[in-house]
Amino acid sequence: MTGRRVIPREGRHAHLTDLRVFSGVEAWVFDLDNTLYPFDADLFSQINEKIGDYVADLLGLDRAAAEVQQKAYYKAYGTTLRGLMVEHNVDPDDFLEKAHDIDYSAVKPNADLKSAIQALPGKKFIFTNGDRPHAERTAAALGVTELFEDIFDIVAAGLVPKPDREAYDLFLKQTCVSPARAAMFEDLSRNLVVPHKLSMRTVLVVPLNTRDLFHGEWELEDDRAPHVDFVTDDLTGFLKALPGHL
């Protein structure tokens, strides 16, 4: 287990310390940003910068004021896009295209991750608050595109972001995933609340000693929350640690 850090839940959920709870999982659901690709690839900081520029241009604000407003929308509505749609009637296609106009060269093919995901039984999905083109470009850079049954993006969710229950319900309806036979991997604890209520196995993917600069204190990783079954700083290592690699 050298190089891995798999932290099981403790206390009243101690039965979930046994990784064999993943036996019987038939659907593996992965968030995209800072989950499938490593945190230090730093794509999200580029996206954050693009969103800040968009807010500044739209509202005629300087960069500092735009950042404050951007975070306020994100906190209140789940995504900045949702806030801008509600309060300023922005065109979501225009926003998504500009927000994801970034450099993907820092994301490298990951043969170990590909092998670990490929070995999982059943279907695999990407479920992201980003859009499909961004997810497709990222998956292609990682070399894992062909592993996934589908990409469920913010557009497929009717522009309703995680952690809103409606987004998960739409995902389940479109993919026909049975939540009792599913596992979800996320870098944000709050996005695992609904999956846990739906009886999914939940895994929080958090690099050690790091924080996404766009994440506020209100959403920092809570590895002791009852809706978080497992925590790992190494997605590939965690998947390979599953009993018999399933």
Sequence spans of domains, the chain: 6-38+107-245, 43-99
Cis upstream peptide for 8 (omega within 30°): no
Question: Which residues lie across from 123 on neighbouring strands?
Answer: 27
Q: Please check whether the domain covering 43-99 is classified as CATH 3.30.930.
A: no
Taking only the tens of pLDDT, the chain with its 246 residues reads 334 455 544 433 333 567 889 999 999 999 999 999 987 888 988 999 999 999 999 999 999 999 999 999 988 888 899 999 999 999 999 999 999 999 999 999 999 999 999 999 999 999 999 999 999 999 999 999 999 999 999 999 999 999 999 999 999 999 999 999 999 999 999 999 999 999 999 999 987 544 443 344 434 445 567 889 998 889 999 999 987 565
pLDDT at 79: 87
pLDDT at 115: 96
DSSP character at residue 207: -
Which segments of 3-146 does DSSP mark as H helices, in order? 43-59, 63-77, 80-88, 92-99, 111-118, 132-142
This prediction has a pTM of 0.86
In angstroms, the CA 225 to CA 229 distance is: 8
The β-bridge relationship of strands 230-232 and 201-205 is parallel
Instruction: Please name the residues in contact with 116: beta carbons below 8 A apart, sequence gap of 6 or more.
Output: 235, 236, 239, 240, 245
What b/e sequence results for 52-80 when a residue is b if at least 16 CB atoms lie within 10 Å of its CB, and e otherwise? bebbbeeeebeeeebbebbbebbeebbbb
3-state secondary structure of 186: strand
Q: Please check whether the domain covering 6-38+107-245 is classified as CATH 1.20.1250.20.
A: no
